Each structure stands twice: as structure tokens, then as C-alpha cells.
Structure 1
């Protein structure tokens, strides 16, 4: 742990996106993975506030992408949920992602990225990471299920569903009630998604 004042300066600099101040805080003895009262690291703060340059500098300096806050967010997990593709790419370059870490819903970084329609984030995770495309969260839902019934049925979610299927998502992996992605697509009236799922063998 660094000095309290240096740690606080690092966390504040991450939140404001001040890269020069980050360097000063680190030179002044700040611990790169110092945590605030919510147990957020500077990197997690930079991800939360979309401070890309600050996040990239912290990753370059060796920040741990896996440290979890009180709410179970880590920089890696939150970057997926918020669609911070450039930051995720830098984390993958660092090569120290802990794929066993889960968010407060028991999910990985892919599931909320699919739900929220972050196409390029999903593409990056599927093409470059070792993430489990068929992981089931605590709600009994996969990335494919969430893309179908928590999405809006539009073009972004359609593209995400195509990407998931291309990368071996199980088209018939059902929820806890036995309802498949195709069932949900039909229920919501998402005709284009119904067509995509049926072409992939959805039942």
C-alpha cells in the first residue's frame, strides 16, 4: 500500500482522466492497485468514467485488471458491460485476465456486453479472449439468451447473435424454465432473430 495521500491522488487522477497526474501519483509512491472505500481501484474508476487514456496508462504500468470492488465489479468485467473495447484490448494484450471472476449476477464480461448491444466489444471478446460463450449466470441465462430477450431485436443485437452462433454458442441452451432462445425470440416478435436462430438449428 502506498501513502494515503498518494493513493487518493491516483484514484482522483483516474477519475478525471489526468494521465500526467497518474504518473505523478505513481512516482510519489501510490500503490497502483490502491482501493477507495468501495474497494474500486484506479483502473476500475477509469473504466467506470470512460477515461480511456488513463486506463491504458494504468494497464501499461501493471494495474491488476481482476481486483473486485464491493459490488463484484472488476475493471475487466465492467469494461465488458460498458463496451470499453479499446480498454479490453489492452487488458488482453497484458495477458493476465482471470476468466473465473464473476460479476454480481454470476456472469462474465461477455453476457452484459451482449445484452447492451456492444457489437465491437462482443466481437473482440469472442475473437481474442478465452471467455466461455456458453457460461450460465446466476439467473440461468447465457449471453445468447440475454441478447435475445433483453435486447431490442434490432440490428446490433442481430449481429451479436450471429457472432455468438459463429463462435459456438449453443443455440438451444434453454433458461431454467426450459425456454430456448428461439422461444423467446418468437414471444417478443423478433422476426429477424427468429430467422437467424432457425437457420442455426434453433428449436
Structure 2
């Protein structure tokens, strides 16, 4: 029961103020004059809390002696374990602040070694969090509960020691704690070490036998999270001690650690993962190439590394993720001017399909079309090889016949933009006769039609095409240039 008979300027009694300052002789005189050591302030603190928090060993000893002399053993134990309004005991405060000699006195006086505060902490957790290795060692040797959970996310002392990087404390705890303790997301201390880049702690855990291939609630592994965060030393440790780089780490799609490295642009980690990852992820039907995540997240260096290491610029069709090809993903992701990823993929030989041609032709801007044709050339009939492609010239690859066919399909569909794309195609070598289709001749406006016919030998036109031109001339929907008559 609180004693409000005195009013104190700093809210504490004279005994508490003296106990806090460490003036033990003054404290003894106050006790001898009958001043109470049990008075509490507006925080619920009594002189024992003050002296314990301040590390005043002699004051703690005198207060405990006064209580022992004045009351029963039961009363003494209750006093030693009295709590502040925050639920802090003197034992907790001493452990939190690293006062080893005070803690020994309190434990000898039967302090509750596992008393929890209002927020679920305890003396051991507080000492771990603050990095007081000697205090931790004492509490463990005195039988403190080492596997309790003390945070909203259910972390144990070992989780916290690893998170804080207190490797000396981790060495103490691995011999007595559950190495596979799970928090509310099924995260173990090994996962924490990998996530926060604690290689020394990680090695201690591994040497103690912790599982490096544990999967948390979303199936992420320590290796995946280390790759995501770019902790190269942790990645090396995990791989060197049996971490599997080919375990799927997501319920939604076959995500591997190599994807995380590519997504976040950790190039050194990416190179290490490429060397140990099964290449089925590159083209396998049920897989997703890491090139996709590099492109979608605009990680140019990751794209360069993957292409340089031989990953296909075409990858696989991932309709389940609404991804048809890395090139189309790069085009859809890119603004204008087009991203470096688009240029890299085209330069590396990515297939130019109808969807890409549509992106290039269904616009009044020829930037993408010109970009494609900077790296590709149209095949010439006289130089065609058995597979329908011509030998490369001037460093440009030759478009495959299938790519040309898909270009023509896109052109037929997007005649309304032909004033933009037709000059580019003809001036870069497309055989003009390929565009002499009835659909086009019927729909082109006079200026565009005249432009095409400048490239055409009229004597080669088929009768049906000549009939279309004659009909348009008669209808006055086409105004031929004078020289066309000769």
C-alpha cells in the first residue's frame, strides 16, 4: 500500500533517492531512523528498484538486510519480487542494465528468475537484448527458462541474440536452447541470421547442428532470404553447409533463391547461385526463368549477368503469371525511351513474335521498330539458307522467316499506322512485294500507297492487284503520281 504522507520534489522518497545515488552510509542512517524502504513512487518503483537499476550493490545489500530483519521470509520474497507499474522487477532491471553483482544478491534473496514484465520480457531476454554476456551466463547457470517466448512475434532469447548479432551470447545459448524454435511465422534462429546478415552467428548455429533448409510459413528458406537481402557471406555459408538452391520457396510460383538475387540486383550473389542452380528453371515448362524477375524489376545488371551466363532471352511462356516472353515483359514494363533491358534482349537474339511486332507497329512512334531493326536485318531471297535465315552481316542477326511472317500479320492488322512504320520497313530492306496484299491496297490512303508503289516494279503486279488500283483510281480514292503511268 502506498504511503502518501510525504511529498517529494522528484517524486521519489528520500530513501529511494539515496539508494539511487549510492550513498550507502546515508541510506543506513535513514533506515536506522525508521524510514521505510517499501515506499513507492508514481511509477511503482521502490528503493530496491532504484538501487538495482543504478547498480548500487551495497545499497541493495542494505535494503535486503533491512527487509529481512523487519519481516518474515515470505514478506522478504514478496518485496524482492515486487513489480513496477510496467511489471519490472529489481531482478529484471539489474539484468537489463548488466549489473552482475546486484543480480547475484537478488537471486540469493530468491528473486524470481523468470518473472515476466507487462510486455512479456524477462530478465534473461533483457540481458540478451542488451548484450550482457556475463549476465546471460549467470542466469542460464541459475536455471532461467531459455526457450520461452518474449515478443509479440513469439521470439525466444536465441532469436533475439542472433537478431542483435551478439555472437558471444549465441555461443552460450546454443548449448541449452532449442535451435529450431519457431516464431509465429515459423521462423527459426538460422533464418534470422540469414535475413539480417549475421554470418558469425549463422556459423555458430550451423556448427551446433541447426537445419539450414528449414522453410517458414510462406516456404521461404534461409538461402532465399539471404539472397534477397544480398548477404553474400551468409549465402556462401549456407551453400557450403548443404543449403539446397533448388527448393521451391513459394506457394504461388516456383520461386528459387536465384530469383531473389536477380530481383534485387545482388550481382555477386546471383553469380554464385547461377553456378549451383538447376538450369531447368531457364526453359522448363513448369518453371519461371530468373530473367523474368530481373526484367520486371528493371535490374539491368541482373539481366546482363543472366544473358552473359547463357540464360535464354526467350525463356518459357509463363501465362500463369501473365508473362509471354522476357522481351514482351520488358516492353510492357518500359516507358519511353525503351529500357536497357529491351535493348539487351533484342541484341541477345530474343525472338520477335507477333505480340512484339504489334507493340512496334500499333503506334505512331517508330522508336521500338527502329530499335529492333538496329539489331536485325531482313533476309534476302538470294542469300537464304536451308533454315530460312541469311548469314549475319554488319553485326546484325537476320530475322527468321517465321519472324517476318509474324511481322506481316501485325502489319495487316495495323494498316492505320502504316504512315509511321512503312517508311522504316522499306528503308531497312523489307521486300516491298511482301506488302502487296489486297487488304493493304484497299485500305491505304493515297500518300501511303504512293510511297509503297515507288518501290515496286508495276510489271510484276498480279492482275487482281492491278484491278484494285484501277478501281481506286476510278473512285478517286487514289491519286497516282504522274510517273506511275510510264
| Same fold per superposition (TM over 0.5) | yes
Using the alignment, how far apart are the partners of 2:330 and 2:201 within structure 1?
40
1:116 CA displacement: 1.5
CA distance in structure 2 between the partners assigned to 1:98 and 1:42 by the alignment: 19
* Farther-moved stretch of structure 1 (74-83 vs 16-25): 74-83
Residue matched to 1:134:
282
What residue is the counterpart of 1:5 in the other structure? Answer: 145
Shift of 1:136: 7.3
Counterpart in the other structure of 1:180:
325
Aligned counterparts of 1:42 and 1:83: Cα–Cα separation in 2: 18
Deviation at 1:114, TM superposition (A): 1.1
In structure 1, C-alpha distance between the alignment counterparts of 2:173 and 2:283, rounded to whole Å: 39
Partner of 2:227: 80
Structure of greater relative contact order (alpha carbons < 8 Å, 6+ residues apart)? 1
Offset, 1:4: 9.7
Q: CA deviation at 1:178?
A: 5.8
1:105 Cα offset (Å)? 3.6
CA displacement, residues 99-153 of structure 1 (integer Å, 9 cap, x when unaligned): 22423443111112211211111111113x2344427799x743101111222xx
Per-residue deviation, 1:51: 2.6
On the 8 A contact 2:159/2:192 being kept in 1, the answer is yes
Distance of 2:225 and 2:144 partners within structure 1: 25
Cα distance between partner residues in 1 of 2:291 and 2:241: 28
Structure 2 unaligned residues grouped into runs of 5+? 1-142, 148-155, 352-486
CA distance in 2, matches of 1:175, 1:112: 18
SS of aligned partner of 2:215: coil
Which of the two has higher C-alpha Rg? 2
Query: Who is 1:94 aligned against?
Result: 241
Find out whether 1:16 has 2:164 as its counterpart.
Answer: yes
1:161-185 residue CA offsets vs partner (Å, 9 max, x unmatched)? 1221233322112331563111222
Secondary structure at the aligned position of 1:120 is classed as helix
Kindly indicate whether the alpha-carbon contact (under 8 Å) linking 1:135 and 1:143 is maintained by their aligned counterparts in 2.
no
In structure 2, distance between residues paired with 1:110 and 1:135: 14
Distance, in Å, in 1 between the alignment partners of 2:235 and 2:318 is 28
Residues 76/171 of structure 1: CA separation in 2 closer, same or farther (3 Å cut): same
1:124 maps to 2:267 = no
2:258, 2:270 within 8 Å by CA — same for their partners in 1? yes
1:68 and 2:251 equivalent? no
Cα distance in structure 1, aligned partners of 2:343 and 2:304: 11
Secondary structure of the equivalent of 1:6?
coil
CA contact (8 A) 2:220 2:250 kept: yes
TM-score by length of 1: 0.81
- Aligned residues, how many? 193
Q: Take 2:189 and 2:173, find their aligned partners in 1: how far apart are those partners?
A: 11
Q: Is 1:167–2:325 an aligned residue pair?
A: no
Distance 2:293 2:278 in 1: 16
Following superposition, the deviation at residue 98 of structure 1 comes to 5.9
Residues 124 and 66 (structure 1), Cα distance of their counterparts in 2 relative to 1, 3 Å cut: same
**CA 1:17 to 1:6, structure 2 compared with 1: closer, same or farther past 3 Å?**
same
Q: Following the alignment from structure 1 to structure 2, what is the Cα–Cα distance between the partners of residues 130 and 164?
A: 12
Which residue in 1 is equivalent to 2:181?
A: 34
Secondary structure, aligned partner of 1:67: coil
Whether the aligned pair in 1 keeps the contact of 2:227 and 2:260 (CA below 8 Å) is yes
